[in-house]
Amino acid sequence: MNFKYIDSKQLEQMLQTEQKAYKKLAKKGVNVDMTRGRPCKEQLQIAMPMLENAAKCNFAMSGFDARNYGEPAGVKQARELFAQIFGVKSDEVIVCDGSSLDIMYTVVQFALQFGILGSTPWNKLDKVKFICPAPGYDRHFSICENFGIDMITVPMLEDGPDMNLVERLCKDDESVKGIWCVPKYSNPTGVTFSDKVVERLANLKPAAKDFRVFWDNAYCVHSLYDEDVKLKNIMDVAKKAGNQDMIYEFCSTAKITFAGSGVAAFAASQNNVEDVMKRMFFKKINPNKVNQVMHVEFLQDVDNIKAIMKQHADILRPKFELFDVKMTEAFNDVDNVTWSKPLGGYFISLDVPHCAKRVVQLAKDAGVKFTAAGSTFPYGIDDNDSNIRIAPSVPSLDEMQFAIDVLIESIRIALCEYYAK
Where in the chain are the domains?
3-44+306-419, 53-301
Could you tell me which residues come within 8 angstroms of residue 196 by beta carbon, excluding any fewer than 6 positions away?
159, 163
Compute the distance between CA of residue 62 and CA of residue 301 in angstroms, rounded to an integer: 16
Residue 154 confidence (pLDDT) above 80: yes
> Is residue 60 pLDDT above 90, yes or no?
yes
pLDDT tops 90 at residue 5: no
Whether the predicted pLDDT of 421 surpasses 90: no
Check pLDDT > 90 for residue 102: yes
pLDDT for residue 357 is more than 90: yes
Look at residue 82 and give its three-state secondary structure: helix
CATH class of 53-301: alpha beta
Mean pLDDT of 282-301: 96
Mean pLDDT, range 257-283, rounded to an integer: 95
The pLDDT mean for the chain works out to 97
The one-letter amino acid at 258? F
Q: What is the mean pLDDT of residues 217-228?
A: 96
Peptide bond into 392 cis (omega under 30): no
Residue 135: pLDDT over 90: yes
Q: Is the pLDDT of residue 241 over 90?
A: yes
Distance from C-alpha of 137 to C-alpha of 52, rounded to nearest angstrom? 34
Contact 14/412 with Cβ under 8 angstroms? Answer: yes
248 confidence band (pLDDT: 50, 70, 90):
very high
Can you tell me the distance from the alpha carbon of 374 to that of 376, in angstroms, rounded to the nearest whole number? 5
Q: What pLDDT is recorded for position 24?
A: 97
Whether the CA torsion 377, 379, 384, 388 is positive or negative: it is positive
| pTM of the shown model | 0.96
> Environment class of residue 164 by beta-carbon count within 10 Å: exposed (0-12), middle (13-18) or buried (19+)?
exposed
To the nearest whole percent, how much of the chain has pLDDT over 70? 100
Give me the mean pLDDT over the 17-38 stretch.
Answer: 96
Non-local (6+) Cβ contacts of 89 within 8 A are 83
CB 154 within 8 A of CB 161: yes
260: confidence class by pLDDT, cuts 50, 70, 90: confident
Mean pLDDT within 280-308: 96
- The residue that leads in pLDDT, 283 or 289, is 289
CATH 3.20.20.300 for the 3-44+306-419 domain, yes or no: no
Read off the pLDDT band of 364 (50, 70, 90). very high
CB within 8 Å of 55: residues ≥ 6 apart: none
Nearby residues of 77 by Cβ (< 8 Å), 6 or more positions away:
61, 62, 293, 296
225-235: average pLDDT:
96
Q: Is the peptide bond before 378 cis (omega within 30 degrees of 0)?
A: no
User: What confidence tier does 163 reach under pLDDT thresholds 50, 70, 90?
Assistant: very high
pLDDT of residue 392: 97
Q: What is the mean pLDDT of residues 32-52?
A: 96
